[in-house]
Amino acid sequence: MASVKELRQVNIVGVAEILGMELKPDNSRYYRWKDHDSLVIDVRKNWFNWYSRDKYGDPIALVRLIREEQTGQPVSFKEAKHYVETGSFPTVDTIDYTRKEFSNYLSRYESKDKTLMIDYLKNERGLSEETIRFFDEKGVLGQANYKNAQGIEPVILFKTLDATGKMIGGSLQGIVENRELYDRGRLKQIMKHSDGSSGFNVDIGTPKRLIVAEAPIDLMSYYELHKGELNDVRLVAMDGLKEGTISRHYMEILHLKRGKVYEVDHKKTPQALSNIAKTSTHFKQEENQSVITLAVDNDSAGRKFLSRLEDKGIRFVSDLPPLPAGKEKSDWNDYLKQKKKGQLMEHQNKRLTQNKEVEPHRKEKKSKKTKTAEEHYFDWIERMAATVQEQLQLPSPPKLASELEVLVEPFITTDLDRLFARRLSLALDTQRVESSQILSVHQAIDQLDKQINEQLQEKELQTSKIAEDYLLTAVRGDLPTLEELYSSAIFSDKPSVVEYLKDWSANTEEVQRVIDFLTQLDPVRRDWLTPVEYFLDDMRTSQLEEDIADEEEQQEQVATSDQKENALEQAQGHEKSAEGTIGDFPAKQEAAPLPEANESQPLNDLSPSQTQPQPLLHFTTKDDGKSIEKRYYHLASKKDIAKLNRYAPTIQQTAQWYLDTIADSHVIYLYKDGGSISSLAVQFDRDKFMHLTGIFPYREHQTATQTLEDFANGKGDFDSILIANKGAAFDKIKVLPELEAIIQSDSFYFGDLSEVPKLKQLDMDKAIRSGDEDVVLAMRTVDGTTFPASLLKLRQTLALQLEDSTEERTILGVYRYRDSQLDQLSINQEYIKDGGEVFKSILDQVVENLNQSTSSEPNMEEDMVYHNQPSFKGQMQNHPTEKVKLESVDQPSYAQPSSQNKLNELLASKDRAGLAQHLKEGIHQYLDSTQYKEFLKTMSRFPQYSYRNVMLLKAQKPDVQAVTSFKSWKEDFGRSVKKGEKSLRIFAPMVVKAKDPKTGEILKDDKGNDVTRTIFKLVPVFDVSQTEGKELPQPIYQLEGTHENYAKLYRSAKEYAQSKGLRFEFEANLGEANGYYSRKDQKIVIKSGMSEQQTLKTIYHELAHADLHSSKTTDKELKYSHAELQAESVAYIVSNHYGLDTGSYTFAYLASWAEDKAALTDLEAQLEIVQKEAQHLINSLDSELAKQMEQAQEQSVEKVESVEKLSFEERLARAEVQSRSLVEQQMKEEDQSKKQEAKQSNQER
């Protein structure tokens, strides 16, 4: 089965052709769809853009879009993925594309007579002669003869000019209608090799604002309608919906205001605007929020385009043409023509987009404009059409206002609905009544709008008062209760929201935040529940992320008068929680004493630990019970205890089932994985159950294992009970009965949750989803052992994320291995028809591995795949909706179990002190010259890391090359971590706020600022060898070994030396030495006649001396061997960093340190000095080298034409000349050194 990443590389042109799309090439890079030529395919990016609809994407997105266009039925991600996967499309190859300079190939065919152009624009498009003359005088209009498939036709040429008046692109508009050639009647086409980021544009005065339309004629229409108010503005047509065009012109205007010229970068400019919004407060300044006016079409694509920009933080004025009743689309040319025909429409659609980061309870900010009744009316039409489609199960929403009028009556539920429905009828009456009655209908609409505004204002006052009242009570410290909040006026017409919040046990803070959220929504919307579901879900997840991030900096404190809590600590630990507020499972698995193994029981029998009949579970606590504290939990109140008792039968029944069925066992899931069967063994210990409930009962010597048995046996008397915060305990309890579904073979397994953010951010790595899609069992794997960590209700957000994941695997069978006995729990009879005989050899291997694991505690492979087992093709029946494909596979490669070494133990336990000591003890290995060189070589790859981190990385992976985080590999480098790879760990600094150990409050300094401290935390990273994907960009320092590049390295070293006040000199008579550093004369002397590499290595050695040993005091205190070790080590690291040959370095004198008792301490100190100096020198040299590379690139651009014309022999001759010039430069410097020495000698005489 191909991955999504692979399917996205399938040739998009091939996909389009299989879909029946007839394409026409624009050039070697772009294709257009003949049916809709605004849909453009970019073969280099393997991407499409449908500009008129603001749709874009990869081959999978193209399938979803076009199939829905063709059939009228939406296509799911999975269906589109399957469509692409089962086709035989060639994989796309990367195409090197060089931007070609635009040439006006129609210039010879332009006509001085523009009569046809003027006639079309005036009579067909309603533009005035004055407007046409204005644009013509700007030099952006032309009439030309264009050759089509049938002959010659006249076209309008809309020219794109740059700041100098040079034509850099254009678009064509047909004048004569031709339905045979063009589906839309006339030619519409962008000229070949046009600069796509510019667009048709003119300036009025010195532009300080930007007005953007979709098409040139819309722009001209907008100008005609608003020309009296247009001053110091640039008008731009995007030829579609292109953020890159807006970005380019905004940056040009921004630079123009500052008296600068903006240099367009075709790779960076399109993202410049969104980057400004993302990385600065630019758009939070009021004066920048109205620079851009977007006068795009008033249709679905245009409005979505505006929403997308606004979501990115880009602020602008939205100026859409009015949308007539019953119409889906309106552009500025439509509005101009209607206005000239006398069908006047009040233009009330202008609004300024707001900064979404408004403070709570501050919705009345002056910059906010209230929507008009007409705008609310159009929003209502859109929502009601969607409601009608959904409720009546129509293939598409009603497109005509008259259709909606007939269907809408059953769905009118509020007074506002009735007012809007009446307005809909009146709007239709304007087209149905006699002309003499139109005025009275418009008067009726105006009167109705007043009533609508009154109702809207009343609603807004209610919500505003709610927020204000809450704010006042919060200030007084007298916060309302849940009952008071639920009785708020805002909930009066939203019973489903109240029911939902109560069902999910929302606390006071959460309910109030929901109220704040509701006040921000459109008061006339119909569906209130869905956004609240998303809001509460996201709020709890966000809080959970904060809790988990903060948890490592705070230890859980259990304060009791009884200090003998060893059993409790062993069961609970002070480790990182796998679930935070949702659960509290320790990240480190510790051995816990288990009761004697019971004999295997039938699934429906009672556990031997139970008695019959069972007392019913009833929770009670002592009034004088000991007070305990547990992070993310709170002491259960009497009300909480009463609520727990309402759920007690559910808790007891599930505990009995867990104890009988899966406790003390490994549950083995066998699942279909492409053409093979894979297995997952999940360890269900007794102490895991309590963490699935969110209940923490306490009494002396109570353990998590004992809690399971107490729940099952009906024992609910405890000293005290804690429950998970924010209603999480009751969230868990409600889904406990669904736990049994996770051993049913109609479930699905997810082995990689990297595409499921809601589980990934909780540190979960695997999941089982029940077949009825009610619940998800999320799991973690620590040290090779997979265990249950959280049972979650499958809500909409998580369901969608799982649906889009490519990791869903069908479970074929579920088995339990307990007390050396293997039992079948369920079998997927849709696939397996032999009762599970096909699994026998696989299960034998799994059981053998589990037995080995129990005896030697190895770091077992998490996900065992058994290939080349007896084929089960004959036993497997194809699923009705899924084709099963079996393919040949390679021989298996099983990971052999091995005991963990001390390093892995320290890493797993996150013992930072023990780890530091372990690394310190390991330094002795570097007294060996070979080992020391290997260590320095690794350090050269990580100049920014401390020597301790380099040691740590090398200890975990000796051949480590380049590391970064999982997220960085994916987002910054386009690479993904291979499945099954284990992360490496490094120390990372983290600034935390210091807290009072007694009160837990943040400490303040004398000035009232928070006291902070820096701690070091172990964080996960992955080596490049553990990833796959795009090729890494070549670093600046990876140069080929040419004379030219050696010269660059030399010049960068020389520039650095000069910045330190040093000069280079060359001498021939230095004896055995290759060079030396003179502190007195502030110079570095280098032996002449050496190779380029040896010269550079010597320079690096002497630069290290100059940096480290320039002080007389330091030089006197430092041993010669230490000074040489430092300089030679730095030279080795820097030389290796730049790819120079380092084979001649020996470090032989390290052997003499082995007998020195202080050698380890000395070497540790030397390594720290070496690392810091190497880092400083490499950073400085890289900076100088980058400047040279930029200069060379600028020069190469100027010379590229002449170089391309040279023959191979001529290029070779040029290279030799450059080489000779380098030698001559070196000789000149040597001569200069000799002359200076002679002059100095004469002066001494």
**Distance, CA of 547 to CA of 673 (rounded, Å):** 36
**Distance, CA of 227 to CA of 135 (rounded, Å):** 12
Is 511 a residue whose pLDDT tops 50?
A: yes
Tens digits of residue pLDDT in 70-107: 666 677 777 788 888 775 434 444 444 456 788 898 98
Is 1228 a residue whose pLDDT tops 60?
A: yes
CA 542 to chain centre: 15
**Distance, CA of 1193 to CA of 1214 (rounded, Å):** 18
pLDDT at 211: 96
**Distance, CA of 812 to CA of 827 (rounded, Å):** 6
Report which of 542, 507, 544, 515 is spatially closest to residue 531, judged by C-alpha positions. 515
**Distance, CA of 1098 to CA of 1096 (rounded, Å):** 5
In angstroms, the Cα distances linking 476 to 462, 463, 473, 479 are 21, 20, 5, 8
Q: Tell me which DSSP letter residue 79 carries.
A: H
CA atoms within 13 A on the CB side of 103: 4
Is 813 a residue whose pLDDT tops 60?
A: yes
For residue 1226, count other CB atoms closer than 10 A to its CB. 20
Averaged pLDDT for residues 529-536: 66
Q: Are 447 and 472 in contact (CB under 8 A)?
A: no
pLDDT at 931: 80
Partners of 682 in the β-ladder: 667, 786
Q: Are 328 and 399 in contact (CB under 8 A)?
A: yes
**Distance, CA of 1195 to CA of 915 (rounded, Å):** 52
| 706 vs 1118: which has the higher pLDDT | 706
Averaged pLDDT for residues 1067-1096: 86
550 phi/psi in degrees, rounded to 5: -85, -20
Query: Dihedral of CA 837/840/846/847: which sign?
Result: positive
Q: Are 788 and 732 in contact (CB under 8 A)?
A: no
Report which of 892, 893, 874 is spatially closest to residue 884, judged by C-alpha positions. 874
**Distance, CA of 1176 to CA of 1130 (rounded, Å):** 10
Let me know if 641 is exposed, middle or buried by CB neighbors in 10 A (0-12, 13-18, 19+).
middle
Q: Are 976 and 970 in contact (CB under 8 A)?
A: yes
Vertex 382: Cα angle to 377 and 387 (nearest 5): 120
Q: Are 809 and 751 in contact (CB under 8 A)?
A: yes
For residue 635, count other CB atoms closer than 10 A to its CB. 17
Partners of 1027 in the β-ladder: 977
Averaged pLDDT for residues 460-465: 54
Q: Tell me which DSSP letter residue 35 carries.
A: S
DSSP-assigned states of every residue in 664-729: TEEEEEEEEETTEEEEEEEEE-GGGHHHHHTEEEE-TT--HHHHHHHHHTT--EESEEEEETTTHH
Strand ranges, E, within 38-175: 39-42, 47-50, 55-57, 110-111, 141-147, 152-161, 167-174
Is 295 a residue whose pLDDT tops 90?
A: yes
Tens digits of residue pLDDT in 544-584: 444 444 433 333 333 333 333 333 333 333 333 333 333 34
Q: Are 110 and 142 in contact (CB under 8 A)?
A: yes
Segment 3-6 long-range contacts (CB within 8 Å, at least 24 positions apart): 3/806, 4/60, 4/81, 4/806, 5/976, 5/1029, 6/91
CA atoms within 13 A on the CB side of 578: 27
Tokens, residue 1015:
């701690």
1076 phi/psi in degrees, rounded to 5: -155, 160
Q: Tell me which DSSP letter residue 986 carries.
A: E
Question: Which of the four pLDDT bands, split at 50, 70 and 90, describes residue 657?
Answer: very high
**Distance, CA of 368 to CA of 289 (rounded, Å):** 12
Q: Tell me which DSSP letter residue 284 carries.
A: G
339 phi/psi in degrees, rounded to 5: -65, -40
**Distance, CA of 616 to CA of 712 (rounded, Å):** 9
Vertex 1036: Cα angle to 1032 and 1037 (nearest 5): 105
**Distance, CA of 319 to CA of 297 (rounded, Å):** 9
Tens digits of residue pLDDT in 702-737: 888 899 999 999 999 999 999 988 778 888 888 888
Contacts of 299 (CB under 8 A, 6+ apart): 328, 329, 330
682 phi/psi in degrees, rounded to 5: -110, 130
Lowest average pLDDT, out of 676-680, 803-807, 1025-1029, goes to: 803-807
Q: Are 669 and 682 in contact (CB under 8 A)?
A: yes
Tokens, residue 321:
């043409």
The amino acid that residue 1006 corresponds to is D
**Distance, CA of 1008 to CA of 1003 (rounded, Å):** 9
89 phi/psi in degrees, rounded to 5: -95, 145
Report which of 147, 28, 26 is spatially closest to residue 96, judged by C-alpha positions. 28
Contacts of 612 (CB under 8 A, 6+ apart): 606
Query: Dihedral of CA 856/861/863/869: which sign?
Result: negative
Percentages helix, strand, coil for the chain (3-state, rounded to 5) are 45, 15, 40
Q: Are 508 and 516 in contact (CB under 8 A)?
A: no
Is 877 a residue whose pLDDT tops 50?
A: no
Percent of the chain clearing pLDDT 70 (strictly above): 68
pTM here is 0.33
195 phi/psi in degrees, rounded to 5: -75, 100
Q: Are 1102 and 1083 in contact (CB under 8 A)?
A: no
Averaged pLDDT for residues 312-322: 89
Lowest average pLDDT, out of 382-391, 581-590, 898-907, 1001-1010, goes to: 581-590
Tens digits of residue pLDDT in 381-426: 877 887 777 667 676 777 677 778 777 777 777 777 888 888 888 8
Let me know if 537 is exposed, middle or buried by CB neighbors in 10 A (0-12, 13-18, 19+).
middle
Q: Are 850 and 822 in contact (CB under 8 A)?
A: no
pLDDT at 798: 58
The amino acid that residue 1094 corresponds to is Q
> H-helix or E-strand containing 821?
strand 821-827
Is 240 a residue whose pLDDT tops 50?
A: yes
Partners of 944 in the β-ladder: none
Question: Which of the four pLDDT bands, split at 50, 70 and 90, describes residue 838?
Answer: confident
Is 800 a residue whose pLDDT tops 70?
A: no
Tens digits of residue pLDDT in 493-507: 777 788 777 766 677
**Distance, CA of 318 to CA of 293 (rounded, Å):** 6
| 1037 vs 520: which has the higher pLDDT | 520
In angstroms, the Cα distances linking 378 to 391, 420, 427 are 20, 9, 11
pLDDT at 1232: 65
Q: Are 447 and 373 in contact (CB under 8 A)?
A: no
CA 1203 to chain centre: 43
Most confident of 220-234, 496-510, 777-791: 220-234
Question: Which of the four pLDDT bands, split at 50, 70 and 90, describes residue 1034?
Answer: low
Tell me: cis bond preceding 613? Omega within 30 of 0 counts. Answer: yes
All structural domains of the chain: 4-86 (3.90.580.10), 103-195 (no CATH), 196-357 (no CATH), 558-590+597-866 (no CATH), 902-1029 (no CATH), 1043-1240 (no CATH)
